[in-house]
């Protein structure tokens, strides 16, 4: 398969890959933003004392974590119309990604918040801050530093997961490779190019993570006792 590797065909398909790349990129960005929103809501519910709020969040997170994205995607894609909600594929795909990643992000944020030492919370309490003030002024600013690296890790997972959207006819990066494979019967060319594009996205996110770590690390937190 490799000895006849045709760069010429790849070049010919490059515009298609370009479109796919752009689609994957913006699709991932939108999904990730949605996932952040879902994650924050879930995490906020999960941190409440009231079991009434906590339990649904916990069940949701477990259900998402224990089942494959594919099943979730089809659940939405074929399930929503039965409830009379017919949405465009792209929308369903983004929704599925956001709902899926949101569960993981909720856990990441929760871990970040719980990593803030009890003493910080108590200092806030002792100076008369309300719950929301403590969250806003003391806990979240510190938790964000801890959560950004794992969040970017989750972003990497999300980008790769978005490949599954090709199953419900969303044109993205993986689709471009599949088209090359099925029009021209050149699977090696198709998949190698796809992989290269994903690798570019991966390194982009990774350097973003490194950059943010350095940027946040300007003022290393943690006292010198």
63 to 122, contacts with another protein by CB under 8 A?
63, 65-72, 74-75, 77-79, 81-82, 86, 89, 117, 119-120, 122
Q: If DSSP codes are grouped into helix, strand and coil, which group holds residue 79?
A: helix
Q: If DSSP codes are grouped into helix, strand and coil, which group holds residue 120?
A: helix
The size of the interface with another protein (CB under 8 A), counted in residues, is 75
The interface region with another protein, picked from 24-32, 34-42, 44-52, 199-207 by CB under 8 A, is 199-207
> Which is closer to another protein, CB of 45 or CB of 139?
139
- Inter-axis angle of helices 89-114 and 140-161, nearest 10: 140
Does residue 214 bind another protein (CB under 8 A)? no
User: Residue 15 CB, nearest distance to another protein (Å)?
Assistant: 17
Q: How far apart are the first and last CA of the chain?
A: 61
Show the CA angle centred on residue 161, arms to residues 155 and 162, nearest 5°.
Answer: 90
Task: State the Cα torsion 179-184-186-189 to the nearest 10°.
Answer: -60
Rounded CA-CA distance 162/96 in Å is 10
> Which is closer to another protein, CB of 29 or CB of 122?
122
User: Residue 24 CB, nearest distance to another protein (Å)?
Assistant: 11
The interface region with another protein, picked from 16-24, 26-34, 41-49, 128-136 by CB under 8 A, is 128-136
Residues 18-57 within binding reach of another protein (CB under 8 A): none
The DSSP code for 218 is: T
User: Residue 37 CB, nearest distance to another protein (Å)?
Assistant: 23
User: Residue 221 CB, nearest distance to another protein (Å)?
Assistant: 4
Q: If DSSP codes are grouped into helix, strand and coil, which group holds residue 106?
A: helix
Neighbours of 105 (CB within 10 A): 26
- Pattern 154-173, binding to another protein, x per CB under 8 A? --x---x--x--xxxx----
User: Residue 166 CB, nearest distance to another protein (Å)?
Assistant: 7
Q: If DSSP codes are grouped into helix, strand and coil, which group holds residue 6?
A: coil
The interface region with another protein, picked from 22-30, 32-40, 41-49, 61-69 by CB under 8 A, is 61-69
Phi then psi dihedrals of residue 185, to 5 deg: 55, 45
């Amino acid at each position: 398969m490799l000895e006849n590797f045709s760069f010429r065909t790849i070049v010919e398909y490059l515009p298609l890959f370009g479109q796919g790349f752009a689609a994957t990129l913006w699709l991932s960005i939108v999904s990730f933003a949605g996932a952040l929103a879902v994650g924050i809501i879930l995490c906020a519910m999960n941190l409440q004392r009231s079991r009434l709020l906590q339990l649904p969040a916990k069940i949701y997170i477990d259900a998402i974590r224990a089942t494959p994205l594919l099943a979730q995607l089809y659940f939405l894609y074929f399930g929503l119309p039965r409830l009379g909600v017919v949405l465009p594929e792209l929308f369903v795909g983004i929704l599925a990604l956001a709902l899926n990643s949101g569960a993981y992000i909720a856990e990441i944020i929760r871990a970040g918040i719980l990593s803030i030492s009890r003493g910080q919370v108590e200092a806030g309490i002792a100076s008369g801050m309300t719950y929301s003030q403590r969250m806003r002024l003391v806990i979240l600013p510190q938790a964000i530093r801890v959560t950004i690296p794992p969040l970017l890790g989750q972003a990497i997972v999300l980008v790769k997961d978005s490949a599954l959207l090709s199953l419900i006819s969303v044109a993205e990066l993986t689709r471009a490779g599949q088209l090359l494979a099925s029009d021209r019967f050149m699977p090696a060319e198709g998949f190698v190019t796809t992989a290269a594009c994903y690798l570019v996205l991966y390194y982009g996110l990774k350097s973003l993570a490194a950059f943010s770590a350095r940027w946040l690390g300007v003022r290393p937190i943690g006292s010198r006792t």
